[in-house]
Structure 1
Amino acid sequence: MFGDNNYLILDWKSGKESLDVSGITDQLRMYALKILLKQKNTQIENRHIDVYEVYLPSLHEKSGTIQQEDIDNIITKILEDVEYQKQFLVEQDAERNQPLNHTAFTRTSSGKKCI
């Protein structure tokens, strides 16, 4: 936090640089949401949140400023992802969080990718 309601999020990356140059990543949106939730709020209001994804060792970066739309979109994505993942739980019960039997899943021939 820098001053009143000004935040800077740096996400240092040591892996392969992303080819996606479309802007702020979902991961950075999640970090910003976490700041807001710690304040028991999901509205940007008078907060300013700058985010940077910095790749090491090149120091190439992607950056931006979080907008309310970013927060709204990541909340929607989280809710959609949770609903999708429920299909892999017994009785789709997230509270119990009990996975389906392994026989409910199709085996893939690819060692790199699950389907």
Structure 2
Amino acid sequence: MINISLIVIKTNQLEKQADFYSRLGFKFDYHNHGNGPFHFASVGSPVVLEIYPLPKSVAAADNTTRLGFQVHSLDELIRNLQADGVTIVSFPAHSDWGYTAVVQDYDGRKIELSEK
């Protein structure tokens, strides 16, 4: 069996993305390692989500990666995200994979949310 323990995304909207993922339930520390760039790293969950600044040589953040997270109270979360202007790609519905919805982060990544 294998488990994911680390996800790293890169963006030119560091604080905005940290705010977005915080609304999904992540808690972040802001720090760096040695001479590396300051970044956000989640704490308190089995998967560490790190949000790094986009390298200067890269013009745009990758928006082809799709991420998925389990959340509590999916309907309430979607209402709150919608009220905050977050793009809702698909509203909560029952599927073969459970009760799910899809939203977009600020770089356009599709984020699948499923209720625990």
TM over 0.5: no
Q: Which has the higher strand share?
A: 2
Q: Which has the higher helix share?
A: 1
Q: Which protein shows a greater Rg?
A: 1
The interval holding the TM-score normalised by the smaller chain is under 0.3
